[in-house]
Amino acid sequence: MTRMQLITTAAIAIAGMVAIAAAVVLIRYPFAQPPNLVLIMIDTLRQDKLSAYGFPEETSPEIDRMAEQGVRFDRVIAQSSWTRPPSAQCSPRTTRAR
């Protein structure tokens, strides 16, 4: 697989995850105005060390609060074992809804 194919695959995978997350939120919370969507990407954070996922100590109170009030995914699959390919396509962008 060439580098361009890898980047394209990563972009499609991330766009798919964001679309699925948005659909789940809109189905669960049908508002007249769509709610804001927050995608948290953290490098080298293990799920089993977050209290929202069952860790006995309170290690992540803000993430826990957001997980209680929003949609929390229990299974996510990354296309790469390192951070750069997935995060390259998630650069900050600002757009206005029409």
pLDDT per residue, tens digit, the chain (98 aa), is 777 777 778 778 887 888 888 777 777 776 666 667 777 777 677 888 888 888 899 988 888 888 888 878 777 776 666 666 656 556 555 555 55
- Tell me the CA distances in angstroms from 16 to 46, 77, 78, one per residue in order: 23, 12, 12
Does a structural domain hold residue 97?
no
Which residue, among 91, 85, 87, has the nearest Cα to 9 in the 3D structure? 85
- Tell me the CA distances in angstroms from 52 to 33, 46, 75, 77, one per residue in order: 28, 12, 13, 18
Does a structural domain hold residue 94?
no
Total structural domains within the chain? 1
Does a structural domain hold residue 14?
yes
Which residue, among 51, 81, 83, has the nearest Cα to 66 in the 3D structure? 51
Does a structural domain hold residue 81?
yes
Does a structural domain hold residue 24?
yes
Does a structural domain hold residue 98?
no
Q: Which residues constitute the domain of residue 81? A: 3-88
